[in-house]
Every structure is written in structure tokens, then in C-alpha cells.
Amino acid sequence: MRHSPQLNGDGKLQHLLSIEGLPREILVQILDTAASFVGVTEREVKKVPLLRGKSVFNLFFEPSTRTRTTFEIAAKRLSADVINLNVAASSQTKGESLLDTVANLSAMQADLFVVRHGSSGAPFMIARHVKPHEHVINAGDGRHAHPTQGLLDLYTIRHYKGEFSQLTVAVVGDILHSRVARSLIHGLTTLGVPEVRVIGPQTLLPAGVESLGVRRFHDMRAGLKGCDVVVMLRLQSERMRGALLPSAQEFFKHYGLTAEKLALAKHDAIVMHPGPMNRGVEIDSTVADGPHSVILPQVTFGIAVRMAVMSIVAGN
Amino acid sequence: MSALPDAEALCATLAAALRPHVTPSTAMIGLYTGGVWLAERLHAMLGVEAPLGTMDIAFYRDDYDRQGLQRDPKRTRIPFDVEGRDLLLVDDVLYTGRTVRAAMNELFDYGRPARIALVVLAERGGRELPICAQYCGARVEVPPEMRLRLQRADGGKLSLELKRAT
Amino acid sequence: MKLLVRNGRIVDPASGRDAQGDLLIVDGRIAALDGAARSAGAERTLDAQGLVVAPGLIDLSARLREPGYEYKATLESEMDAAVAGGVTSLACPPDTDPPLDEPGLVDMLRRRAKALSRARVYPVGALTVQLKGQTLTEMAELAEAGCVAFSQANVALDDTQVLWRALQYAATFGFPVWLRAEDLSLARGGVAHDGEVATRLGLPGIPPFAETIALATILELVRATGARVHVCRLSTAAAVEMIRQAKGEGLPVSCDVGIHYVHLSDMDLGYFDAHCRLVPPLRSQRDRDALAAGLADGTIDCACSDHTPVDEDQKQLPFAEAEPGATGLELLLPLALKWGAGRKLSLAQTLARVTSDAARVLGVHSGRLEPGAPGDVVVFDPAASFQVTAQALRSQGKNSPFLGYELAGRVRYTLVAGNLVYEHQ
């Protein structure tokens, strides 16, 4: 099982499971295609007929209104039919295995599965078992990957900064549990960003994180110096209970983004956040709503990026 | 096989044929990539008021299921209101007609024009849809295994070329 | 009955012998070798030309899934697998359902196994009732029913006081205690080695010190109680070093490694291959290499299969949700040979780790080819290879990281107490 599970025999994107393992050309293709779709989202008729007659099944084993809605909008703007299945964890205990669920949907003429699952690797397993004309898009698996989020983050950076080869990018917060961070880091290193930093307390940085090609910082002020891009990660409240952090207040004091800390970055630095934000925990309201923040545009770009991904895989 | 016609000369012919019909409500849209080059030239020569529109039909093609999404889509930019316009749709070569069909579908997602006229530098027969050009530079015979396309040199000079279809 | 195994390459790790010859088995015991064997007039002869004749393999950990898990595998299928793999004696861990904490259950298991007349089964009894880590089992009763040692299988003890008392009690009777070194709270929630691979794959990790911290506790308690402890399934380089020092100190400890762990590392997880979901987890390449070296220099006494049949449904799940374990009885021999070849060891040294050395830990007289020893013999072709496929495996567990691999070392005959219990067709 050493071949790439995402690429077909011709090296074209069959599934989007993770940014890791994708060649640079495919990342660039997705970003370029997304740019075309941004144009579509800006006009009055926001639909194109590309996926007409195709069925997109949103298979969300982890609840999420935001991501699911974005995928739904993106699919509908491609004229696809969208079916939402919120398979809550409890229905899994009714005994139907993951593969049985997928097989049943396959029998209903699915073309594209958008899958979010709490266990790392679940979309890979699904992709191994779907039919040749079916495509899987990973909408987030455990801590492992969230490739469409990584792509929209890359798109956002490209939109505001032009290109990647001179940037210093910092990712701040709970890297340990973050699939968003992993995907973004892989994307940044593949696209040639020379300096990628991760900033957080030791408890939130995973073992051997440097092997991802990043520099680790425990001191946020040192880590933000000279940054072009600052990406703040969401801190989940459960982390306070798992003996990883004492309190949100202490976290905010040392790792929250305030205007004062942001001033250490470049004067034209942009601030990103995958959302939803915990104001006052990882980010101060003045920064979130301030001139450096590109958090709202990220959302618009998210629809175009997902349209790009779906239209590329569904055509291969 | 006889030599291909001079693209620059055809351009001048087209401009002459179009000039009497250009009004304040005229707008021009070029189709990537050859059509955009031609449209840029004609737009300047004719002094069309409305800024030039450029269109990529990647999302409206009828061969998506077979070929997938094209590798390098450009952005469609229509910097004027389509509603009620006299549109000149510009492409370099008219062949099967499928590109024009896709372009019209895309155009109607922007609004309802008053009329659309098709302007092409050359047409080569082989139509598969009921589409024709109102303004055409020349008819060129092309063997089915070849492609006829407009090229633009670094200095801006336009020329027609034949290439084997992949 | 007199059975002659003729003309084979007789390898007996216990004596160091590696030479062509003949072997005679009479009434279930090794009777004679070479000249004396030839002239005895056997009723049956097995031709071992071009093959190796060795003591039957002794596997210190093989789950037979009875009682309780008959849907995963049965005694019949797993005993078939054992002898097809040349395993003539095996110890089974107490994590059956119910666990082996009652003499009646142990007795029934031994009778069932005996009735099948294949490999010898040595049950390992539960150290605590229901393996819950609170109350001691009636170890003396269980020993009388046939338990050769006591263990918690993969259910770590979280109360060190209970562990201490259990070791004291076992030491009273001289019973060996087999323990996996794992700190329950450090391992909690983890499914992979806490390192670069787990970080990339986003899998919760089990740090290496989950093993070493628990091992330090165990060694301290051995010092305090004098209990004989066998540490099961080492997984870290650091633990190998700790055992080396403990043995140097003269502590009554022994240890084993799962044969998979001297071949595989966390790199083999690939794209979340659930066949590599194992307990303990596959660790770094450095750890793997230290385990392979430790097994070679004898710091690690022996290798076992840790055979754990899991049905495919439980493996066709996301990595963290898949049931851990790999099938291994039929792969113990070829994987041991592969390890030995890789370390450039002699065949006798290689086989020692799955025969005489395992016998020493188990406390049995088999595992050697000397007159008087039980007639447990395996005859195999070290050069013949086979492909590991679901069809080729007799075990009901088809779950192996080696599926699709070609492995060398094919069993031709297996004898238990002089009976031919397996013959390759």
C-alpha cells in the first residue's frame, strides 16, 4: 500500500485526503482554480453547471454546521445535488460499521463523499473501499488533516502576500490537537515558505514537531518577531480539563494575540484564524476586528476553494 | 497544403466590417486565449467605449465528464452590465461551435443581452451545433487531426498556426 | 512406537549441535541420535533430506480465543495454526472471557487442548480476579490446575500496592509472574508510539517512558520481594538497557519481545494500516534495532508470536478504533529466521530464541533434542518460501502486517510427543 492513496494512475487528484503527499503542482492548480471560482461567487448568478447531475453526500460523523454548510454551498454552486447525513456518534453504536454506511450510500449513486470523522485516517479507509468513479474529500479527520481548510489558508496568504518564497509564517496555539495546523504546515513547506514557526506551551506541541519542517517557540513574543502571517488556532475548553493547561486566562496572557504582541510582527502582517474564534482566549477582539485581520475573507475564499477541489476531483 | 492567411490582414478586414455597427451600447468579450488577443486588438482599433470583457469557459464546457477540469483556468471578467447590451463575442477560430455554446451559457448567467454577434478570425467548417459567425475573417480548410489557433509573438504580432491535435 | 527422522540437518540450540544425522523417537520421547538411531529399527520413517530438524517451537504468547471469543477463533483452528507453524508448545495469556482466574476454567482449557492432540498448551493464570487489579487470585490452586505463571495480560495494574502484594504472594510459592511494563495513566488514550509518525498522522501517542517508568517500578519490586518476573513484549531501546543492567545486578528477571517488533517500526503504519495497530505500539526504527540487537545478545531471552486473531471487521476501522493485535503462530518461524539472517547469526543461535531459551523461561524440558526430552520436533525447509495470504493461513485470524509478503521457512513435519500432528501437503 505504498502508492499515493489520493492520486490515480495518471497522477491526477482522485480524492483529497491530506495536503501531505500532494505534489506542488496540484496545490497550485487548486489555488488557481479557486481564483476563478472567486469570480463566480462575486457575480449575481453564483452557479456554474459543472457538477450538474452529480450527487454530493456530506457524511459528517463529527457535528459541524460551519464546514458542512460551506461544502453544501460550494456543491450547490456547482449545480450538484447535496445530501446531508449527520451520522452522530450514537448511531454508530447501533452497530453499522463505517464501511457499511459508505457501501449503502454508494448503492444510492453517490459521486462525491465529503467526510468528517473523529478518528484520524477514517477517510483513507473509506477511499480504499469506494468505487472507481467515487471521490472522497476529507473535511477533517481526528487530529490528522483538514486539507480544504489548509488550502483556503494558503489561498488567503497568496491573495494578500502574492507569493510564498519570502514569508515567515507563525502558527500559534494548540498544535497538538489541530488538524488545521498540520494541513497548513504541510502546505506551507510544500509551497516553499522558508520559515514556518509553531508557538505554544510544551503541552500543546506534539513530539518531534520539528520533523514537520518547523521551528518551535515557547515564547510568543520571540516567535512573532518579523512575521508576515500569524495564524491563531482555536483553543478548545476541554484542553483545560486534560491537565494540559491551567486556565484560559493564563493562556491568553502568554499565547493570546493582542495588539501589543502583534506589533512585533511586520507592520503589514495579516492575522488569520480558522474559526470559530474564542475572543479573549486566543485572540483579542481589537485584533480580530482590526485592520490586520483577514478572518472574514477567509470564509469567502473557503467556498471558492471547496468548489475548486470538488470540480477537480469529480472530473478525474 | 496552401499557406494560412495573414492574421494581421484578417484583423483589419474584421475591423472594417465591424466599424459601421459599433454603437455606445456595444461591448466586446474575448474568449481565452486566442479570442482575448484578437479582442484586445479589435477593441483598441474600434475604440469601443465599454471596457473589454474576458471569458474562460472552463466551468461551462460539455466535456467535463470525459476530460475533467482544465488545468489552468483563467478568470472571467465582465466589467460592464450585460443587461440590454449589444455584445460582440470574439474568438480566434470557429470549429465545432461548442466553445461558443458554453460562452453563451456563461454569458446568460451574467444577464440578458439585447443581442450577441459572433466575431471570429477564421472558421474551418466541422460545425457540430447550429452556430454561425456574423463576422468572419476567412474560411480555412483544416485536416481533422490538426488544430488551427491564433498565436501572438512577443512583439504583439498575430499569426495563425496549425498544430497536431493531442 | 518407534519413529525415525532420517537424514536431516539436526540443529539443537541447547547443545550447540548443527550437523547431518538421524533422530529416533520412541514412546513419545527422543530416544537416540545418529548411529544408535539408525540401527534401532523404526516402524515409521520420515525423510528429512534437505531439511532442518529442530526442537518444536515454544511460543510464550498465543491467544487461542477460548473460552469466550469463539467468534474470533476456536481452539481447533488455532491449534491447527500452531502445528502448521511448527509450534509444539505454547503459553496462552489469561485474557479470555471469563479470564483464567478459576481453577475450573484452567482445567477445562487444558483438557480441551489435550483432547485435540496437537500442541501442548500451558495456561498463564490471572494475577488478580477478573484481571481487575484489586484482589489476588488463588495462585496456588491455579498452579495446581496447570498454570505455569501469572499475569495481567494487557490489562495494566494501576495500583502499585496491589502489584507489590501480588509479587510478594507469588514469591512465597516461587511462582513466576509475567508482566507487561506499561504505566496505565501514561498509556491512556494512546494508540501509537509518541513520535514523528504519530505527530504526522495525528494519532494519540504512548511515550516510551510509559514503558520505562513501569519497568523501573517492576524492577524495584523485584528487588524488594525476590519475585521471579518475566517482562513481556519489550518495545523500547531504553527498556532493553534497563533489563541489561538488572540482569547484571543479578535480579531474577527475564524478558521477551514479540517477533513483529524486531522487524517493524512506526514507519510501517503507512497510511493508517490497521494491521499495524498493535499493543505495545510499534516504535521508532531505533527502538526496533535495539530490540533486534538485544534479542541477539541474549539480553532479551526469547521471541514469541503474541498471536492475536482479530476478525477483519475489527480491523476495517479507523486506526484508533481498530482492535489491536496480529496473527502470528504460523509466522514465528519464518520471522525468527529472517531476524537471525539479518543479524548474521547461526541457525542454532537463531532457533535458540524460539526453542531452548523459551523453554527455560517456561520451565519445561522440551525445546531440546537430547535423549529423554519430549518428542516435540519440527522439520522444515529454511529455503522454501511462501506468500502470506488469508488462504495460506490456517488461523482464523488473517490480520497480519505481513500480508502479501514472501517469507522463507516452510514447515514440512511437526511432531508432538512423537505423533505426526502436521504434514505439509
Which CATH number goes with the domain that contains B33?
3.40.50.2020
Alpha helices in C75-159 (DSSP H): 75-84, 103-116, 139-145
Q: Across all residues in chain B, what is the average pLDDT?
A: 92
C59: nearest Cα among C362, C324, C337, C298? C362
Cell (9 digits) for C38: 539408525
Indicate if the pLDDT at residue C207 is higher than 90: yes
Return the H-helix or E-strand segment holding C314: helix C312-315
Q: Is residue B1 part of a domain?
A: no
Q: How far is CA A316 from CA A6, A35, B68, C97, in A?
A: 11, 20, 5, 50
Average pLDDT for C87-96:
96
Q: Is residue B143 part of a domain?
A: yes
Average pLDDT for B96-103:
96
Q: Which residue has 526442537 as its cell numbers?
A: C55
What pLDDT score does C68 carry? 82
Indicate if the pLDDT at residue C74 is higher than 90: no
> If you ran DSSP here, which 8-state letter would residue B83 be given?
T
What pLDDT score does A92 carry? 54
The residue ranking higher by pLDDT, C242 or B1, is C242
Indicate if the pLDDT at residue C216 is higher than 80: yes
User: What is the tally of structural domains in chain B?
Assistant: 1
Average pLDDT for C406-424:
96
Q: Across all residues in chain C, what is the average pLDDT?
A: 95
Cβ neighbours of residue A100 under 8 Å, at least 6 residues apart? Answer: none
What pLDDT score does B2 carry? 59
Give contacts of A20 with chain C, Cβ < 8 Å: 200
Query: Does pTM surpass 0.80?
Result: yes
User: By the 8 A CB rule, do B163 and B121 touch?
Assistant: no
Indicate if the pLDDT at residue A256 is higher than 90: yes
The residue ranking higher by pLDDT, A79 or A100, is A79
Q: Is the ipTM of this complex over 0.85?
A: yes
- Percent of chain C exceeding pLDDT 70 equals 100
Q: For the segment B66-95, what is each residue's pLDDT rounded down to a tens digit?
A: 888 887 788 899 999 999 999 999 999 999
Catalytic residues of C: 306
Lowest mean pLDDT among A256-270, C58-72, C317-331: C58-72
Indicate if the pLDDT at residue A2 is higher than 60: no
User: By the 8 A CB rule, do A17 and A6 touch?
Assistant: yes
Chain A nearest-CA residue for C402: A1
- State how far residue B98 is from chain A, nearest Cα, in angstroms: 15
Q: For the segment A228-250, what is each residue's pLDDT rounded down to a tens digit?
A: 999 999 998 777 767 889 888 89
Query: b/e per residue, C103-114, with b = 16+ CB within 10 A?
Result: bebbeebbebbe
Contacts across the A-B interface (CB distance below 8 Å): 51
- Percent of chain C exceeding pLDDT 90 equals 92
- State how far residue B75 is from chain A, nearest Cα, in angstroms: 5
Name the 3-class secondary structure at C62: strand
What pLDDT score does A90 carry? 43
Q: Is residue B2 part of a domain?
A: no
Average pLDDT for B10-14:
94
Q: Which residue has 528477571 as its cell numbers?
A: C253
Give contacts of A48 with chain B, Cβ < 8 Å: 59-60, 106, 109
A265: nearest Cα among A221, A297, A298, A295? A221
Average pLDDT for A5-34:
94
What pLDDT score does B15 carry? 95
Question: In CATH, which superfamily holds the domain spanning C2-53+374-395+402-423?
Answer: Urease, subunit C, domain 1 (2.30.40.10)
Average pLDDT for C15-31:
94
Identify the domain containing residue B100 by its residue range. 7-164
Q: Across all residues in chain A, what is the average pLDDT?
A: 92
Q: For the segment B122-164, what is each residue's pLDDT rounded down to a tens digit?
A: 999 899 999 999 999 999 999 889 999 999 999 889 999 999 8
> Are A206 and C273 an interchain contact pair (Cβ–Cβ within 8 Å)?
no
> Helices H, strands E: what count in chain B?
4, 7
Does C286 lie at the interface with A, CB-CB under 8 angstroms?
no
Indicate if the pLDDT at residue A93 is higher than 70: no
User: By the 8 A CB rule, do A141 and C202 touch?
Assistant: yes
Question: What is the C-alpha to C-alpha distance for residues B120 and B133, in angstroms, rounded to an integer?
Answer: 7
Average pLDDT for A67-77:
95
Does B109 lie at the interface with A, CB-CB under 8 angstroms?
yes
Q: Is residue B87 part of a domain?
A: yes
Q: Is residue B160 part of a domain?
A: yes
Question: What is the C-alpha to C-alpha distance for residues C241 and C216, in angstroms, rounded to an integer?
Answer: 12
Q: How confident is the model at residue C135 (pLDDT cuts 50, 70, 90)?
A: very high
Indicate if the pLDDT at residue B3 is higher than 90: no
Q: How confident is the model at residue A89 (pLDDT cuts 50, 70, 90)?
A: low
Q: For the segment C298-338, what is each residue's pLDDT rounded down to a tens digit?
A: 999 999 999 999 999 999 999 999 999 999 999 999 999 99
The full set of domain ranges for chain C reads 2-53+374-395+402-423, 55-362
Indicate if the pLDDT at residue A12 is higher than 60: yes
CB proximity under 8 Å: A 73-132 to B: none
- State how far residue B85 is from chain A, nearest Cα, in angstroms: 17
Indicate if the pLDDT at residue A113 is higher than 70: yes
Indicate if the pLDDT at residue C29 is higher than 50: yes
**Pairing outcome for strands C44-47 and C302-304:** unpaired
CB proximity under 8 Å: A 233-292 to B: none
Q: Is residue B53 part of a domain?
A: yes
Chains sharing 3 or more CB pairs under 8 A with chain A: B, C
What pLDDT score does C66 carry? 82
Please give the CATH number for the structural domain made up of C55-362. Answer: 3.20.20.140
Cβ neighbours of residue A260 under 8 Å, at least 6 residues apart? Answer: none
User: By the 8 A CB rule, do C73 and C65 touch?
Assistant: yes
Cβ neighbours of residue A242 under 8 Å, at least 6 residues apart? Answer: none
Q: For the segment B18-30, what is each residue's pLDDT rounded down to a tens digit?
A: 999 999 999 999 9
Q: Is residue B59 part of a domain?
A: yes
What pLDDT score does A1 carry? 40
Cβ neighbours of residue C115 under 8 Å, at least 6 residues apart? Answer: none
Q: How confident is the model at residue B166 (pLDDT cuts 50, 70, 90)?
A: confident
Q: How far is CA C28 from CA C78, C157, C366, in A?
A: 23, 41, 12
Q: For the segment C150-169, what is each residue's pLDDT rounded down to a tens digit?
A: 999 999 888 999 999 999 99
User: By the 8 A CB rule, do C208 and C194 touch?
Assistant: yes
Cell (9 digits) for C352: 535458540
Chain A nearest-CA residue for C313: A97
